[in-house]
Structure 1
Amino acid sequence: MTLAVNEKTGLKERVHPFYKIPEVHQRNVNALRFDGQPRAVHTVPINNSLSLDFFIQTGKSDTLFVAFHGANMIDRNMYPRFERVQSLRKIAPALIAFADPTIMVDQSREMLLSWYLGGPGWDPMNEITKVIRKAIGKTGSRRVVFVGGSGGGYAALRASAMTPGSMAFVQAPQTSIARYIPHVVKTYFDVVWPGWSQEDLLKAFPERFDMVRHYQMKQPENFVYYMQSRSDPSHVENHYLPFKAVYGVRDDSGVSRSGRHKFVMYDGEVRGHGTILAHEFDFHLSEAMKFYESHSR
């Protein structure tokens, strides 16, 4: 691997072998430099042998978009993986897409989903928050929109709850880890929390493992635009309805009494979970931004 030193930042760089754009090697999360490359992949050492990796473009913008990915595929189990970059980068001058470093805890690479949850003694959301704060300073953004579907939607709901005034724009997210596919949940806990009681952890830390309970208990001061396909019954029953019930919304679609949470049940052109067509995503993103901007002035 050939690394060169950027004379402006003093940081080592190379061309990323997969993404074919600059890859910047940051020293640590408390000394981030974003003044060397306007668009790049960054890698930051965290938690001993792990790194936090993210794509970022740092154009000036009123709104910073932050994207999280869902589960990796068995035949495309790569790290770092960035989602929604193609969907967002042309309309979002200020954009970050994070890879989930938790995935790399599993040396066997059999764990395909870990919700950006980290493990004992470390939570990548702490480092992610520091990156976002630095990016806000660089881009001048006053709004933050967290974007994610499925497992990435869970991370978006959690990150937005930690960021007052932000919005989570989520597509068929999980909202409670305990209500997701049992063997997927078990794999995460077996790999990342060996020797710990899964049941005890799920009950004890709703702010980490259960967004339904967390939003109900803490009532975070953020906004949520939640889109859910009607033909995805497990996510409707186990995730959409319980989260919607927190805000007393009884119809299939509706807005909470506070006006901060919009729930949209729609008929997806592709049935089931996980496939949202580009025009569906773009339409709902436009609607979400209208909703957010009208309430966050």
Structure 2
Amino acid sequence: MFKDYTNIIVQYEELYKSEFIYNKPFILTVNWNNTKYEFFINLKPNASNLLVFGSGAYNPQKMKPPVFQRHSWIDHFEDSTIFYNDPTLYLGPINLGWGHGTTDKFYLEDIADIIQIVMDKISIKSQQVLFYGSSGGGFMSLALGGFIKGSKVLVNNPQTVVSNYYESHVNRLFKFSHPQLNKGEILKKFPERLNILELYKKLNYVPDIYYLQNIACGHDMKNHVTPFISGLKSLNETTNFKEVHFDFYFDKELDHNPVDLEKTLYYIYKVKP
């Protein structure tokens, strides 16, 4: 699907020297510690903002990684855009990885590091960045907003606690990310990779979040919204806490699915810096 695009392949140590392309989408592949980090990027020379998109679950019968969901949306924006693939998807037959990584590497932290280098190269400050995602992509956006302080986050029906998601997806992730560990060991060893509030506690920081949620989705409300709100209330008083805005809507037919393109664009334009 992406063979027609220029692919800039670089070692992580050389990334800061790379020359990027403007006004034409390209793939950036960063090789780092035997892991391939891939990005679909469309840079605009006079863009005032950077929009960063995360992907949720994909259908392995229809495609294979790298997965850049919503990449066709680039023409809807005057802003620069980045879509990142989750390397966790290469660890086994996993169609949703939450940027989890391996026992040794938290892939989302590395993705944040690479995005920060790209931001520096294109002279974009964190206050000009919006992370967007729904479902599993929402989880990753919430995490990246924590790592890149000053950025904003827009999520639609995100997961906030990975282990509260459907057991088949969680068990598959654990099997291929941590083959030497059992579920109890994984939950104990990697709380900040599995629970957004645990990550925020570790970072002592909560980003500026616009949380769009369908209250008709009971699974989301019980397993992700309620624990997230409870976790926010339990944060230490010294936590650097930005604003978290909840926007609830009711759509029984959509359930966990995100709002449509037109509404998503409305919210992106509303929330972006």
TM class, shorter-length? 0.7 to 0.9
Q: Give CA-to-partner distance per residue, 1:118-146, whole Å, 9 cap, x none.
A: 01112222431232122212322222211
- Secondary structure of 1:54 counterpart: strand
Say which of 21, 44, 61 aligns to 1:37: 21
Is the CA contact (8 Å cut-off) linking 1:202 and 1:210 kept in structure 2? Answer: no
- Secondary structure of 2:205 counterpart: coil
Aligned length: 260
Is the CA contact (8 Å cut-off) linking 2:56 and 2:96 kept in structure 1? Answer: yes
Say which of 261, 267, 270 aligns to 1:278: 261
Q: Does 1:215 align with 2:184?
A: no
1:253 equivalent in structure 2 = none
- Secondary structure of 1:31 counterpart: helix
**Structure 1 residue runs without a partner (length 5+):** 1-16, 249-257
Superposition deviation, residue 195 in structure 1: 1.8
2:149 equivalent in structure 1 = 164
1:137 equivalent in structure 2 = 120
List 4+ stretches of structure 1 deviating above 4 A.
Answer: 216-219
Output aligned runs, 1:140-151, within 5 Å.
140-142=123-125, 143-151=128-136
Output aligned runs, 1:102-251, within 5 Å.
102-106=88-92, 110-142=93-125, 143-215=128-200, 218-248=203-233
CA distance in 1, matches of 2:48, 2:33: 32
C-alpha spacing 1:279/1:268, structure 2 compared with 1 (3 Å): farther
CA RMSD of aligned residues (A): 2.2
Q: Give CA-to-partner distance per residue, 1:220-257, whole Å, 9 cap, x none.
A: 14211111112211011110122123345xxxxxxxxx
Superposition deviation, residue 263 in structure 1: 0.8
Q: Which has the larger radius of gyration?
A: 1
1:18 equivalent in structure 2 = 2
Is the CA contact (8 Å cut-off) linking 2:133 and 2:156 kept in structure 1? Answer: yes
CA distance in 1, matches of 2:228, 2:74: 26
- Secondary structure of 1:276 counterpart: coil
2:52 equivalent in structure 1 = 66
Of structures 1 and 2, the one with the larger relative CO (CA 8 A, separation 6+) is 2
- Secondary structure of 1:30 counterpart: helix
1:90 equivalent in structure 2 = 76
1:76 equivalent in structure 2 = 62
Report the TM-score, using the length of structure 2 for normalisation. 0.86
Superposition deviation, residue 72 in structure 1: 1.4
